[in-house]
Amino acid sequence: MTAMRTRTLAALLAAVPAAGVLVAGAPAQAAELDITLNSFTVSRNVFVLGSKAGCTNAIFTAVLSAPLPTEVDGPFEVSTVVVDISGPPVSGGFRDFRYLAQVGSTATYRGSAPICGKYTAGRYTVTAYGMVQPFREAAQYTNRINTFLYVKRPSNLTLNATPEPVVKGRKITTKGALRVDGRVAAGIPVQVYFKANGAKAYTYKGTTRTNSKGFYSTKFTATRSGVWKAVYAGGPARSAAAAVDAVKVK
The CATH T-level fold of domain 155-247 is Immunoglobulin-like (2.60.40)
Q: Residue ranges of the chain with pLDDT lower than 50?
A: 1-29, 75-76
- Give the per-residue pLDDT at 73: 52
- Give the per-residue pLDDT at 31: 66
Q: Is the pTM of this model over 0.85?
A: no
CATH of region 2-152: 2.60.40.1930
- Give the per-residue pLDDT at 87: 92
Name, in order, each residue with C-beta under 8 angstroms of 14's C-beta and a sequence gap of 6 or more: none
Measure the CA–CA gap between 242 and 158, rounded to whole angstroms. 8
- Give the per-residue pLDDT at 74: 55
The residues spanned by each domain of the chain are 2-152, 155-247
